[in-house]
Amino acid sequence: MYATFAEIKAALSEGKTAVDITKSYLANIQKNKHLNAFLEVFEESALAQAKSVDEKIKSGTAGKLAGMVIGLKDNMAYKGHKVSASSKILEGFESIYTATSVERLINEDAIIIGRTNCDEFAMGSSNENSAFGNVLNPHNNEMVPGGSSGGSAAAVAAKLCTATLGSDTGGSIRQPASFTGTVGFKPTYGRVSRYGLLAYASSFDQIGPFTNNVADAALITEVMSGADEYDSTMLQEPAAILDAKYDSSKKMKIAYIKDCIESEGNDPEVKARTLEVIEKLKSEGHTVEAVEFPFLGQMVPTYYVLTTAEASSNLSRYDGVHYGYQSKEAEGVEATYKKSRSEGFGEEVQRRIMLGTFVLSHGYYDAYYTKGQKVRRVIQNKTKAILDEYDFILTPTTPTTAFEIGKNADDPITMYLQDIFTVQANLSGNPAISLPLGQHSNGMPFGIQLMAKHFAESDLLAFSDYMMNSCN
């Protein structure tokens, strides 16, 4: 099975066709149906695309991603295809337009194979909040794949496609990447257009790839990046060029946050491996130093105040009136809203809508939302101060390896603490990657996270590629 785009290119040069490759992935998806990674396979349109890609390859007009087979997290618009955010509330809904990021992949001849399972509206850390069932971790089917982009992570880990797109609001790409032993990359906020991404928290959400190596993550991000008139919060600059190789003569300055290494919740093996990577980097001549970042305890609460505030507004459009699920019982407009939303949204989504509604409500706004904004600014400033001095910040991606399905399901606070190391990059907008550099004695993989300066994707990915070689 093809794990990387390099393997696909080799196969194509040996006479395989894009249709062959697509079919072999389709067969593998079928074989791994029990993982529940895909909510829907776009067999027909994927094979049609593959056929046209083969023609383009023959005529020498194929794009940069010709033959790459990509799965979309089920929160991205793809014209003529269903999209549900793993929620009952979007029952039967089909997109009438295509997300900018997806369109750019297709324009470079990527083949879109289906939509992957995720936590409902990207809210969750285990994929247990999907209205369409759990996703199983390919490394151990008793374990969660992480979330919210759990299906995307599992699909790449199980080689059900070459790469997938996920969205990352507080760690939703990096945490499942850590749990499934894949590369998960969240670009800088504003690097990839959000147009067509079903919003969870607008000022946090960012689209990024899951891949089995750094080169594929760089290529996909490069194709997706660049100004888009449909997303005014983007960096208004042309696409990033991300094929830089790390120059080994250049020594890097890397910070690690002491509290993240010493954090009580850390699995001892996760901590030990992180220290081992630090030592390895030092031995290669890089400067790696501990820095103070005294806001670890504030990050998750700040994140939840602000993201739920935005979510409570972003999810207002799912009202049972215009499209998607409408309660059959309801009479009158008020009841249609209440019943459709109560029946259509899952428990976690409702919890976050209520929390967000509360923090924005009259009399509480300043105590929560305004204060949250202020703390976010402090975290942004402090993160910038560190990255003004250092090239990267290194932490474990997650405190532990993947946990058992059902273990944290009734404990939202423990579940929320899954994001403790990842939310910083979303609060501050910085790019961050999870690299599959850890292997636990319990048989599960885990990731090391590297965070970089705003829009320094090129340096970050080049160094990540180097670390995958030197620290493995």
Partner 1 sequence: MGLSEEIRNKYQAVIGLEVHAQMLTKTKAYSNDKNEFGSQPNTNISAITLGHPGTLPRMNKKTIDFAIKMGLACESDIAPEQYFARKNYFYPDLPKGYQITQDTTPICTGGKVIVKDGEGAEKEVGITRIHMEEDAGKSIHDIDPFNTLIDLNRAGVPLIEIVSEPDIRSSQEAYNYLTEIRKLVRYLDICDGNMEEGSLRCDANVSVMLKGSSEYGTRTETKNLNSIRNVQRAIDFEIERQIIANENGETINQETRNFNAVTGTTTAMRSKEAANDYRYFPEPDLQPISVDQNHIDRVQSTMPPLPAALFKKYTQELGLSAYDAEILTDQKEIALFFEDIISNTKNYKSAANWLMGSVKSYLNEKAIGIGEFPISAARISELINLIDSGKVSNNLASQKLFPAMLESDDSPLKIAEVNNWIQDSDEDAIKNMVLEVFAENPSEFERFKGGEKKLMGFLMGQLMKKSQGKADPKSASKLINELAK
> Which residues have C-beta within 8 Å of that of residue 205, sequence separation ≥ 6?
122, 167, 168, 169, 194, 197, 199
Q: Does 95 bind partner 1 (CB under 8 A)?
A: yes
233 binds partner 1 (CB under 8 A): yes
Contact predicate 448/472, CB 8 Å? no
Binders of partner 1 in range 35-74 (CB under 8 A):
none
**Is residue 90 at the binding interface for partner 1, with CB under 8 A as the rule?**
yes
> Rounded to 5 degrees, what are φ and ψ at 471?
-100, 0
Q: How many residues can be counted in the chain?
A: 472
> Cα angle at 398 between 156 and 347, to 5 degrees?
80
Minimum CB–partner distance for residue 119 and partner 1 (Å): 16
Residue placing its CB nearer to partner 1 in the complex, 46 or 309? 309
Kindly state whether residue 85 participates in binding partner 1, applying the rule CB under 8 A. yes
Do 71 and 113 touch, CB atoms closer than 8 A?
yes
Which region, judged by CB under 8 A, interacts with partner 1, from 87-95, 132-140, 380-388, 462-470? 87-95
Give catalytic residues, as residue numbers.
73, 148, 172
- Options 25-33, 105-113, 353-361, 418-426: segment touching partner 1 (CB under 8 A): 353-361
The helix (H) or strand (E) run that includes residue 111 is strand 111-116
If binding means CB under 8 A, how many residues of this protein chain bind partner 1? 45
By CB under 8 A, residue 328 contacts partner 1: no
Binding mask 333-352 for partner 1 (x = CB under 8 A): x---x---------------
d(C-alpha 129, C-alpha 86), whole Å: 8
As a whole number of angstroms, the distance between CA 95 and CA 60 comes to 32
Q: Between residue 297 and residue 326, which ones bind partner 1 under the rule CB under 8 A?
A: 309-310, 312-313, 315-319, 321-323
Q: Find the helix or strand (DSSP H, E) in which 185 lies.
A: strand 183-186
Choose which of 73, 194, 273, 453 interacts with partner 1 (CB under 8 A).
194
Least separation in angstroms between residue 324's CB and partner 1 is 9
Going 433 to 436 to 441 to 442, the CA torsion angle's sign is positive
Taking CB under 8 A as the criterion, the residue among 18, 62, 77, 386 binding partner 1 is 77
Residue 209 · residue 221 · CB < 8 Å: yes
Q: What angle do CA 413, 424, 171 make, to 5 degrees?
A: 60
The least CB distance from residue 79 to partner 1, in Å, is 10
Compute the least distance from the CB of residue 170 to partner 1, in Å: 15
Task: Name which of residues 122 to 141 contact partner 1 (CB under 8 A).
Answer: none
State both tokens at 87.
Answer: 């929620």
* Contact call for residues 401 and 179 (beta carbons, < 8 A): yes
> 193: closest CA among 241, 125, 152, 240?
240
Count Cβ atoms below 10 Å from residue 359 Cβ, excluding itself. Answer: 21
Q: Which residue stretch of 10-18, 60-68, 90-98, 436-444 sits at the interface with partner 1 (rule: CB under 8 A)?
A: 90-98
**Which residue is it, tokens 């992957």?**
116
x/- map, 198-227, partner 1, by CB under 8 A? xx-xxx------------------------
Select from 147, 196, 208, 436 the one that contacts partner 1 (CB under 8 A): 196
State the residues that interact with partner 1 by CB under 8 A. Answer: 75-77, 83, 85, 90, 93, 95-97, 99, 194-199, 201-203, 229-233, 309-310, 312-313, 315-319, 321-323, 333, 337, 357, 360-362, 365, 369
